[in-house]
């Protein structure tokens, strides 16, 4: 069995044991006016190599408007071009409505607005 196959099996097991629910619980705790990254969410739920799976969990968010997935962005501060609920412009508008400054390049200053779960 290759390392990639072992990793994928491990990732599936994490998802089956409540991974999505852990992601949703953590994302609900992100304060208004703050953002975090897919990687930070993955680390916070005990799956540091599963940032893509975090993205998938948020893409199928069962509680739009309750789980603030618009507060999760890429590690370099870019907004998610695949934002599931209206595209990048909707994500930008939602963040700006919370007081988060988004640049013309659709980036957020993580030093100013980043939140790591503290």
Residues designated catalytic: 69
* Alpha carbons 95 and 12: distance in angstroms, whole number: 31
**3-class DSSP state for residue 78?**
strand
Give, in order, the Cα–Cα distances in Å from 24 to each of 7, 85, 109. Answer: 22, 16, 23
Task: Give the orientation angle of helix 51-59 with respect to helix 20-28, to 10 degrees.
Answer: 80
């Amino acid at each position: 069995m290759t390392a990639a196959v072992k990793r994928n099996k491990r990732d599936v097991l994490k998802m089956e044991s409540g991974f999505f629910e852990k992601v949703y619980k953590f994302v609900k705790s992100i304060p208004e006016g703050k953002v975090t990254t897919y990687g930070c969410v993955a680390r916070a739920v005990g799956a540091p190599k599963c940032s893509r799976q975090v993205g998938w969990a948020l893409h199928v968010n069962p509680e739009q408007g309750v789980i603030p997935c618009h507060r999760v962005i890429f590690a370099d501060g870019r907004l998610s071009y695949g934002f599931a609920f209206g595209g990048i412009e909707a994500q930008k508008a939602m963040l700006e409505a919370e007081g988060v400054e988004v640049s013309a390049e659709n980036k957020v200053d993580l030093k100013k607005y980043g939140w790591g779960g503290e």
